[in-house]
Chains A and B, each alone.
Chain A
Amino acid sequence: MEKNHQKLLESLLNDNSFNNWAVKNNKNDIRFWNQWVLDHPEAIETVDLAKSIILGIPFEEKEIDPHKVDHALQKVLNSIENRKTEPTKRVSFGPKKIFWQLGIAATVLILIGCLFFLTRNTEVIHKTGYGEIIELKLQDGTLVTLNGNSQISYDKKNSRDITLKGDAYFKVKPIPATNTKFWVNTEDLRVEVYGTQFHVNTRDEKTNVLLDEGSVHLLLENGGFMKMAPGEFVSFAKEQNTLTHEKVDSTLPYSTWKESTYIFNNIGLKEVMKYVEQTYGIPFEFIDKELTKKTISGGIPNHDLNICLSAIEKSTGTRIVLKDKKLLIIKEN
């Protein structure tokens, strides 16, 4: 009897149709097992037990605050980085030498202290890892959204003159009283603004600027100077000395991002995947070449690789698979 019970229990637990009945999933299964229970009254205990094991206990899993997780991740990444560069040499102190060594150590500490004091925090750096987006409020009230794999730096005394590597969106706080300008410096150009919203991207050995609101001046590294009006797009590459200046409208393809969303207007899938590569650091490959012709219009969430990819998959009808350190783009079957 006990052995039969055991056997039945196991087969019930492993039976898909029985599992469906337990969670009230499939009409046919429900009908079948309702009848089965009626026909096997001797098995009722076993059936009940199997059912309660399948249903289990409805626990509510506690999720840790994502900010806390990000913070912990940064700590771990830093410590991995430090261990890479840390010298492993160890110096052993003899008992006689210890006093004057301590003396030297103290002097060095004091010197370092002075240096630290003199140069303390003159430069502020904000840096994001792959796939990380941060929103910053600078001292003057300007808001910066820094995309993944990007960095801004500025002198502590002047947060209105910053240097950008990567991809960022700016909402510059105007200071009408003094008309103080705000500058964004890149390898290729210098953006001069009063108060406005714009997007700067320095990937691919060129700098793209897309102006949303207000007006900006650009001082190009080749000495050129130009004014931009809202809705205009400028791309300048110092190395090749190439310049594009055009008005963005609904027929023109362009891409930008705001509030952890990429906004694409009629952008080819290849270009879109380039964005993904630059933000998350994973290269891509088109298995089906004709898929490169697909275009995307609309917003794609950008704060999480998986969500980002599935949004791209849905809007282009493709499949994107992570394999051998590459994102493979294939046709949806």
Chain B
Amino acid sequence: MEISSEKAVWDFFVGGDLNAFSTLFKHYYSPLYNYGIRISNNPDITEDCLQDFFVYLYEHRSSLGHVRQVKAYLFVSYRRALVKTLQKQHLMRSLEETDTVFLFSQEEIRIGETFSTQRAKTLEAILNQLSPREREVIYLKYYSNLKNPEITEVMNISYQSVLNTLQKAFAKLRSRLETAAIREVLKK
């Protein structure tokens, strides 16, 4: 959705328009589900919580306050709701203390010019060795296509620390990919 039309749809929704609500729902269901499943690793909880979240959103639409970035707002609110649910069911203590969040699989990496199947496999392993926080930044930026300012809002970190995290993550990725490539060559 373009930013301008998204804002209009949002205003509509806040006004109680179920049609606009449905549009938002259809547009964000997939991205939010994909995000949630990486936090909970549980399809049922992810889905139930997401649907409850949308009901909550509709019922509390008039008290949402001023929302500047719709996408970031939805991501951060859903993230909060999901973590709360997981905590209630004793499935998670806190997001920071959980290692199993934001794991990637090689099937999600588009195989093409830059990434052969072999390289995608290596990349999967290296990505999953990054810290959960680094993985979340990578996930939000390249999987969900959030802009840096949106990432700061979702993860509640500064702009500078988004940049630093990206930098660190990519420095690691690059050196490890190189090492892996050299190993491949040596094996032959």
For residue B55, give the distance in angstroms from its CB to the closest CB of chain A: 5
The CA-CA distance from A250 to B163 in the complex, in Å, is 61
CB–CB B163/A76 < 8 A: no
Q: Decide yes or no whether A306 CB sits under 8 A from chain B.
A: yes
Of A53, A60, A70, A280, which one neighbours B110 at CB under 8 angstroms? A60
Q: Which of A212-236 contact B (CB under 8 A)?
A: none
Stretch at the interface among B28-36, B68-76, B179-187: B28-36
Flag if B51 contacts A75 (CB, 8 Å).
yes
Chain A residues whose C-beta falls within 8 Å of the C-beta of B22 in the assembled complex: 73, 77, 129-131
Q: A280, B114: Cβ atoms under 8 Å?
A: no
A4 within 8 A of B: no
Most-contacted residue by chain B among A9, A10, A61, A66 (CB, 10 A): A61
Bound complex: CA A171 to CA B171 (Å): 62
Min CB–CB distance A25 → chain B (angstroms):
16
Question: Would B59 and A57 count as touching, CB distance under 8 A?
Answer: no
Report which of A49, A59, A64 forms a contact with B109, defined as CB distance below 8 A. A59
Are the CB atoms of B174 and A52 closer together than 8 Å? Answer: yes
Q: Which residues of A contact B108 (CB under 8 A)?
A: 59-62
Q: Which B residues are CB-close (under 8 A) to A321?
A: 4-5, 8
Q: Is the CB of A10 within 8 A of B19?
A: no
Closest-CB distance, B39 to chain A (whole angstroms) = 15
A-B contact pairs, 9 of them (CB 8 A): A10-B163, A49-B170, A52-B173, A55-B114, A59-B143, A60-B107, A62-B34, A63-B30, A64-B33
Which residues on A are within 8 Å of B, measured CB to CB? 9-10, 13, 48-49, 52-53, 55-64, 66, 69-70, 72-73, 75-77, 79-80, 83, 129-131, 280-282, 305-306, 321-325
Contact between B30 and A64, CB atoms less than 8 A apart: yes
Asked if residues B167 and A62 are in contact (CB atoms below 8 Å), the reply is no
Check B115 against A69 for contact (C-beta < 8 Å). no
B15/A325 in contact, CB under 8 A = yes
Q: Is there contact, CB below 8 Å, between B19 and A57?
A: no
| Contact residues in A for B123 (Cβ distance below 8 Å) | 57
Cβ–Cβ contact A58 & B26, under 8 A: no
Q: Are B26 and A73 in contact (CB under 8 A)?
A: yes
